[in-house]
Amino acid sequence: MTEEAVTAHSLTPVLRVLRSCLHLMVAALLALAAVRALAEHAPDAPAVLATAVALFAVYATGPRLPRLRSSTGAAALWLAAVALLWTVLLALTQDGVWLAFPLFFVQLHLLPLRGALPAVAATTVAAVAGFGWHTHTLSVGTVLGPALGAAVAVAVVLGYEALYRESEQRRRLIEELTAARSELAAAEHAAGVLAERERLAREIHDTLAQGLSSIQLLLRAAERALPQRPGTALGHVRQARTAAVGNLAEARRFVRALSPPDLEAGSLPAALERLCATTARTSPLAVHCQVSGAPTALPTAHEVALLRIAQSALANTVRHAGAGRAELTLSYMDTEVALDVVDDGAGFVPAEVPAPGSAAARGTGFGLAAMRARARALQGTLVVESAPGEGTAVAVTLPCPATASAPAPSAPAAPAAAPDATPEAAS
């Protein structure tokens, strides 16, 4: 057995019990040999007693020597001393042959297999020869007894090592599975954190960032109107205050994790009507909203996504397109719901829009990425068609869940609490 195996084995409770039993067996067999020699008044009784005591002393010293478990050479020297004394005892009395069986286990335990097997074979030959010399006969039983004992010892030790290796393999496998489970949990946690960050980024971009940008533009317009047009400036300030109130409501919604205030006040078509009215009131863009098909109840996630995509698309139109008119169309179909936002602005090349976070983006490009992420999260699609001088069309299609079939009443349009149509650059 290797040094690592010996060290590992020495730590197992089963091996400690077996080792204690082995020590007791050696002590009992030595005592038996000495007692029988004394009881039979054999001429060599004192020599048998002295040899048995010496052998027990040397044998008992071995477990207290740490080097025996760490050095194969030291173990071999100790075993040689034990074998020498055992050979002397075997020469004095035939009862010494019984010690061959525990010696098999000691040799198999301390020596590597390539050295233990020859040692076991030599011990077997010595036992057979010693017993035959004392009995002056060499029968089949005389040979088979020690040979079978050696075979049993080898089989037991090899079987135990096989079981130990299998248990160690299972232990390592369990540790690997536990580590993999911990890593998977950490990865899922990191993915959840990242997904939540992306969700909050989309929400902030589509709501608070748009509202703050709108407030900035309104206050800048009020500043330009002063002092010549105080009435116009006052109107801009009031609109900015209304936008601030709406953004405060959005911030509170983030804390409460509720649906958008526009959706709480009515249906999705009504929220889109209010969005278009607010955008037309706070910008030079003429916005028209229409609904196609019979409105049906949609899950809150679908309504929130469509409203946010509409806000972001109109914000891009106001900020970048230089358009005079925009058309927003909400279409209810049997298995899908579609939203189209079309403007007559300057247009752009969608393939040339820099990725958000890149050096070329300069803090822009989040709008289109957020819209696509919202559509993908609901197994939908978003398509942007545009060309320089030909306007822009944004089309999003979401599948309707089977449960969303009840008709939803359309609430009348009402003035929005906050203009959500002027975000930071999004495309």
What is residue 129's three-state secondary structure? Answer: helix
Say what the pLDDT of residue 5 is: 42
pLDDT of residue 250 exceeding 80, the answer is: no
CA distance 384 to 396: 9
Chain Cα centroid distance, residue 26: 53
Phi first, then psi, for residue 356 (nearest 5°) are -60, 135
Model confidence over 296-309: pLDDT tens digits? 888 888 988 898 89
Element (H, E) at 56: helix 45-61
Q: Check: CB of residue 425 under 8 Å from CB of residue 367.
A: yes
Say what the pLDDT of residue 415 is: 34
Looking only at Cα atoms, what is the longest distance across the chain?
138
Say what the pLDDT of residue 332 is: 92
**Residue 329 — very low, low, confident or very high, per pLDDT cuts 50/70/90?**
very high
Report the mean per-residue pLDDT for the chain.
80
Q: Kindly give the pairing relationship between strand 325-332 and strand 336-343.
A: antiparallel
CA dihedral (229, 233, 234, 235) positive or negative: positive
Amino acid in the structure at residue 111: L
Q: Check: CB of residue 82 under 8 Å from CB of residue 58.
A: yes
Could you tell me which residues are beta bridge partners of residue 381?
397
Q: Check: CB of residue 273 under 8 Å from CB of residue 235.
A: no
Structure tokens at 163: 């079981």
Say what the pLDDT of residue 328 is: 93
pLDDT of residue 261 exceeding 70, the answer is: no
> Can you spell out the DSSP letters for 209-257?
HHHHHHHHHHHHHHHHHTTT-HHHHHHHHHHHHHHHHHHHHHHHHHHHT
The arithmetic mean of pLDDT across residues 177-203, rounded, is 82
CA distance 246 to 242: 6
Say what the pLDDT of residue 257 is: 58
CA distance 83 to 91: 12
pLDDT of residue 35 exceeding 80, the answer is: yes
Q: Check: CB of residue 396 under 8 Å from CB of residue 349.
A: no
CA distance 356 to 101: 79
**Residue 7 — very low, low, confident or very high, per pLDDT cuts 50/70/90?**
very low
pLDDT of residue 272 exceeding 80, the answer is: yes
Question: Would you give the DSSP letter of residue 407?
Answer: B
Chain Cα centroid distance, residue 285: 50
Q: Is 273 exposed, middle or buried (0-12, 13-18, 19+ CB in 10 A)?
A: buried
pTM: 0.44
Who has greater pLDDT, 220 or 408? Answer: 220
**Residue 422 — very low, low, confident or very high, per pLDDT cuts 50/70/90?**
very low
Say what the pLDDT of residue 8 is: 41
The arithmetic mean of pLDDT across residues 397-425, rounded, is 47
The arithmetic mean of pLDDT across residues 377-393, rounded, is 91
| Residue with token string 């195996």 | 5
Closest by CA position to 274, among listed 314, 302, 222: 314
CA distance 425 to 403: 37
pLDDT of residue 384 exceeding 70, the answer is: yes
Model confidence over 105-163: pLDDT tens digits? 888 888 888 888 888 898 888 888 888 888 878 778 778 888 888 888 888 888 888 88
Say what the pLDDT of residue 260 is: 65
